[in-house]
Chain A
């Protein structure tokens, strides 16, 4: 089944671009969710024999990254009825252009790092770097707090993608801890988002600029 790996990776990188170009918050959240879900599919393909451990991780990833975290964010924006646009600080075209540059750099950078023969064929590493870069871009160039959290999720997706190279090396307990921490992280961010909404009647971080030197 190894043939499908690259197709899924291409899909993941395409979702990066989609997240950079989408103008509606819902669309960005859904892109990150689909990406998370695909991450859960990948280990099933990468592994010849399916141990209980791998299956558990896959299911955990799909549920937490694909369903629970996006659901929390979608709930957070449901209460805001007026503006559902992303409000980028950097325009969509520029974002896409930067994303393309980042993907190119990711390919370049990953080719300078030596890989094991087993991993050399798959494009896991450049896809991971490109996704991390996209996450950064979304985080820093979008004004809506919700979209910033999605950026954080995309960043985490990229890191998780790299982690797949190490599925044997990472003991189960740690993976669980990592997933749990992410979940709690987004949960706490969700609570703070709720507060931001109540305090400023908006989730725009332009209101969060009182503190400066």
Chain B
């Protein structure tokens, strides 16, 4: 199949979702579309690198990693969606269903785009598609979150456009034919005008870093993730952020090819550590479960760029962590959504004893917490360990020390909130509004199963794909 189908099929399903008049039956489109997309992805990921549209779109190893992780996450979110939207039958879900599918399509486009402008358009489209979904609950608080998300991310993405222009000018000034294609830029990287290249990298990092939620441009994240429905939180934290990370990775590759790794690397590492430090500070005494997850996302985005900045083994670890983070965030956001509904609150002031009230959801939430903080036997343990090992291999001992310290602080901060929520006795006198139901639990079990599997055994084709992606980014295929 043509790689274009990775974009066009979801777009087709958007149209189907928008056309179905029944609010009751429309959500069933999601699992169907997701299964078809996942099948298509698995088929294409095992195939060769393919370039289409004159090199504007390339299904390269990096694109495969991201598209695969988005497809897996979306599959389980889509299985969860009909049950969730059945509970929320009072809300029209046309835009919600269409928006989710559109997000998947645009992420495929962003992952495959080898053209600066096209990538920008795709990532901006994901911002616009997700804004109405954050406003799904239509409360004043959701409105505030949507406004902040829209404005801050739009400004960020505008800066990314500015940076893309700088990069194009670096090529123009360097004297070769003006181009916005990554492959041309990498091939002729030594010609690029260095001052413009530096300006471009910093602006692009700030721009796409805003979208990814790196500190100090992360301010929209706790609000948006806190107010959005669990599915949207999962897709934002596991999908959209990965799309922005791809952009940063591709620009880092250009920097490396231009011999500017010594400029880009330390900036990425510093930004990664800063993000983790912000997360560590704000995670302590955080009472709101979903906001806590947002801070966890800031932390893990920091971990990803840190790995990219160090390179080598740490980069491989970061790519593996991209998948692990996406799937584990799925577990956490979906299960916290269940807990939120069971209590009508997401603050640990009201939420206590969740294990007694909704044992399945609370158990999954607890397991998700253990996984995301990097405890064995789950996948993130393996990837975080690989990143740490990569940092040691690169002999950046100070960075490694800080990294380990921050991981520990985050573990303790997050643990306090999670344990308060799940342990103890439920508050007396309140009725159970929504108990555990299989439709809202089984998809999360599936996700957790995958996270566990990745911790115990990485299938050889996946390991090979990750190796290829890391080698591709480092220019040593």
Instruction: Name A's B-contacting residues (CB within 8 A).
Output: 112-116, 132, 136, 139, 145, 148-149, 152, 155-156, 159, 162-163, 165-166, 168-171, 174, 177-178, 181, 184-185, 188-189, 192, 195-196, 199-200, 205, 207-211, 213
In the assembled complex, B154 has its CB within 8 A of some CB on chain A: yes
A185 touching B141 by the CB < 8 A rule? no
- Contact: A166 with B178, CB < 8 Å? yes
Nearest CB in chain B: distance from A27 CB, A: 21
Q: Mark B130-171, 1 if CB is under 8 A from A, else 0.
A: 011001000011011111101100110010011001101101
Q: Interface 1/0s, chain B 93-134, versus A by CB < 8 A? A: 000000000000000000000010110110011011001100
Beta-carbon contacts under 8 Å, B269-296 to A: 282, 286, 291
Per the bound structure, the CA–CA distance linking A12 and B168 in Å amounts to 24
Indicate whether B260 reaches chain A with its CB closer than 8 angstroms. Answer: no
Asked if B461 is an interface residue, CB under 8 A from chain A, the answer is no
Q: Is the CB of B154 within 8 A of A177?
A: no
**Least distance between B186 CB and chain A CB atoms (Å):** 17
Name the one of A152, A166, A209, A213 contacting B168, with C-beta atoms under 8 angstroms. A166
**How far apart are the CA atoms of A155 and B223 in the complex, in Å?**
24
Chain B interface residue count, CB cutoff 8 Å, equals 48
- Picked from A136, A163, A199, the residue with its CB within 8 Å of the CB of B165 is A163
Contact partners of B154 in chain A: CB under 8 A: 152, 185, 189
Inter-chain contact B124/A174, CB cutoff 8 Å: no
Q: How far is the CA of A200 from the CA of B128 in the complex (A)?
A: 23
Chain B residues within 8 Å of A, Cβ to Cβ: 115, 117-118, 120-121, 124-125, 127-128, 131-132, 135, 140-141, 143-148, 150-151, 154-155, 158, 161-162, 165-166, 168-169, 171-173, 178-180, 193, 195-196, 199, 222-223, 226-227, 282, 286, 291
User: Which A residues are CB-close (under 8 A) to B147?
Assistant: 145, 192, 196, 205, 208
Q: Do A211 and B135 touch across chains, with their CB atoms under 8 A apart?
A: no
Instruction: Determine the distance from Cα of A199 to Cα of B169 in the docked complex, in whole angstroms.
Output: 45
A199 to B146, CA, bound (A): 13
Query: Closest residue to A164 on the B side, CB-wise?
Result: B165
* B118→A177 contact, CB < 8 A: yes
Residues of B within 8 A of A156 (CB): 158
The reply to whether A114 and B195 form a contact with Cβ atoms under 8 Å apart is yes
Whether B144 lies near A211 (C-beta < 8 A) is yes
CB within 8 Å for A184 and B128 given contacts A116-B173, A211-B227, A213-B222? yes
